[in-house]
Structure 1
Amino acid sequence: MLEERKDEMVQIRRHLHKNPELSFKEDKTAQYIADFYKGKDVEVQTNVGNGYGIIVTIKGGNSGKTVGLRADFDALPIHEETDVPFKSKNKGVMHACGHDGHTAYMLVLADCLIQLKDSIPGTIKIIHQNGEEMPPGGAKSMMESGLLDDLDTVYGIHLFPTHPAGYIGYRSGYAFAGRTYFKLVVQGVGGHGSSPHLSNDAIVAASHFVTAVQTVISRRLNPFDVGVITIGSFDGKGSFNVIKDSVELEGDVRYMTVEIQELIDKEVHRIAKGIEVEFGVKCELTYTADYPPLKNDPKVTAEVVASLESMNDPDIHEVSEYPMLSGSEDFAYYLEKVPGCFFVIGCKPKGVKEAYFNHHPKFDIDEDALLVAAKSVAQVVCSYYEIN
Structure 2
Amino acid sequence: MFDIKSEVSALEKELIDLRRDFHSYPELGYKEFLTSKKVCGYLTALGLEVETVNGTGVCAVLKGGAGEGKTVLLRADMDALPVEEETGLPFASQNKGVMHACGHDGHTAIQLIVAKILAAHKDEIKGSVKFVFQPNEEEAGALDMINAGVLENPHVDAAFALHLWSPIKSGNIGLSDGPILGTTEEFELEILGAAGHTSTPHTAKDALLGACSVVYAMQSLGTREFDPLLPIAVMFGHINGGTARNIITGSVKLGGTIRFLFPDENINKPKVLEAFERVIKGTCMALGLDYKLKYIPSNPSLFNDAALTSLVKENAAETFGTRENVEAFRSLAGEDFAEFSQRVPSVMTFIGVADHEKHSDYPHHHAKFDIDEDMLKYGVELQVRNVLSFLNG
Q: TM-score, length-normalised on structure 1?
A: 0.92
**Where do residues 23-42 of structure 1 align in structure 2 (5 Å cutoff)?**
23-42=29-48
Aligned to 1:268: 276
Residues 53, 138 of structure 1: 8 Å contact kept = no
**Alignment-derived partner of residue 103 in structure 2:** 98
Match of 1:246 in 2: 251
Match of 1:130 among 132, 135, 143: 135
Query: Which of 346, 370, 384 lines up with 1:364 in the alignment?
Result: 370
Q: State the identity %.
A: 35
Look up the match of 1:60: 64
Whether contact under 8 Å (1:272, 1:285) holds in the other structure is: no
Question: More deviation in 237-246 or 94-103?
Answer: 237-246
**SS state of the match for residue 220, structure 2?**
helix
Aligned to 2:310: 302
Report if aligned partners of 1:183, 1:286 keep a CA contact under 8 Å in 2.
Answer: yes
**Partners of 1:185 and 1:218 in 2: how far apart?**
25
Query: Distance between the aligned counterparts of 1:104 and 1:219, measured in 2?
Result: 46
Per-residue deviation, residues 316-339 of structure 1 (Å, max 9, x unmatched): 674413331121111111111111
CA separation of 1:313 and 1:297: change in aligned 2, threshold 3 A: closer
Q: Does structure 1 retain, via aligned residues, the 8 Å contact 2:233–2:260?
A: yes
How many residues matched?
A: 381
CA contact (8 A) 1:172 1:295 kept: yes
- Cα drift, residue 299 of structure 1: 2.2
Aligned match of 1:109: 114
Rate the CA distance shift 1:278–1:64 in 2: closer, same or farther, 3 A.
same
- Verify: 1:229 aligned to 2:237, yes or no: no
Inter-partner Cα distance in structure 1 for 2:358 and 2:95: 27
Residues 108 and 64 (structure 1), Cα distance of their counterparts in 2 relative to 1, 3 Å cut: same
Cα offset, 1:350, TM superposition: 6.7
SS at match of 2:367: coil
Amino acid at match of 2:195: G
Structure 2 match to 1:218 = 223
Q: 1:312 deviation in Å?
A: 6.5
Residues 320, 378 of structure 2: 8 Å contact kept: no
8 Å CA contact 2:101, 2:365 repeated in 1: yes
User: AA paired with 2:49?
Assistant: E
2-side partners of 1:326 and 1:312: how far apart? 28
Question: What amino acid maps onto 1:99 in structure 2?
Answer: H
Hey, what's the Cα distance between the residues in 2 that align with 1:279 and 1:164?
49
Taking the aligned partners of 2:207 and 2:109, their CA distance within structure 1 comes to 51
Q: Could you tell me how far apart the structure 2 residues matched to 1:216 and 1:348 are?
A: 33
Q: Report the secondary structure of 2:298's partner residue.
A: strand
CA-to-partner distance for each residue in 1:251-271, whole Å, 9 max, x for gaps? 221112325533321111112
Aligned to 1:142: 145
261-270 or 102-111, which deviates more: 261-270
- In the alignment, which residue of structure 2 is the partner of 1:286? 294
Q: Could you list the per-position Cα deviations for residues 43-90 of structure 1 after superposition, in whole angstroms to 9, with x for gaps in the alignment?
A: 1011x13x4110010011111100000111111122222232212222
Alpha carbons of structure 1 residues 79 and 205: separation in structure 2 relative to 1, 3 Å: closer
Judged with a 3 Å threshold, the aligned counterparts in structure 2 of structure 1 residues 313 and 230 are, in CA distance, closer, same or farther, namely: closer
1:326 aligns with 2:332: yes
Q: In 2, distance between residues paired with 1:115 and 1:354?
A: 33
Q: Of residues 7, 11, 27 in structure 2, which corresponds to 1:5?
A: 11
Note the 1:46-195 alignment, pairs <5 A: 46=52, 48-49=53-54, 51-61=55-65, 62-133=67-138, 135=139, 137-149=140-152, 150-195=155-200
* 1:204–1:156 Cα change, 3 Å: same
Question: 2:207 & 2:170 partners in 1: Cα distance?
Answer: 52
Q: Which runs of 5+ in 1 are unaligned?
A: none
Task: Note if contact 1:305-1:319 (Cα within 8 Å) is conserved in structure 2.
Answer: no
Paired with 1:352 and 1:367, the residues of 2 have a C-alpha distance of: 10
Q: What is the Cα deviation at residue 28 of structure 1?
A: 0.5
Cα gap change, 1:192/1:78 in structure 2, threshold over 3 Å: closer, same or farther? closer
Q: Secondary structure at the match of 2:229?
A: coil
List runs of 5+ in structure 2 lacking aligned partners. Answer: 1-6
TM-score by length of 2: 0.91
What is the CA–CA distance in structure 1 between the aligned matches of 2:142 and 2:123, rounded to whole Å?
29
Q: 1:349 touches 1:364 (CA, 8 Å); kept in 2? A: no
Per the TM alignment, residue 215 of structure 1 is displaced from its structure 2 partner at its CA by 0.9
Contact 2:175 2:349 in 1 (8 A): yes
Which among 348, 369, 391 is matched to residue 385 of structure 1? 391
Q: Which whole-Å CA distance do the structure 2 matches of 1:103 and 1:323 have between them?
A: 23
Q: Is contact 1:178–1:293 with CA below 8 Å preserved after alignment?
A: yes
Distance in 1, Cα, partners of 2:364 & 2:203? 50
The 8 Å contact of residues 167 and 317 in structure 1, kept in 2 or not, is answered as: no
**CA root-mean-square deviation:** 2.0
Secondary structure in 2 aligned to 1:269? helix
Q: In structure 2, do the counterparts of structure 1 residues 354 and 78 end up closer, same or farther at CA, with 3 Å as the change threshold?
A: closer
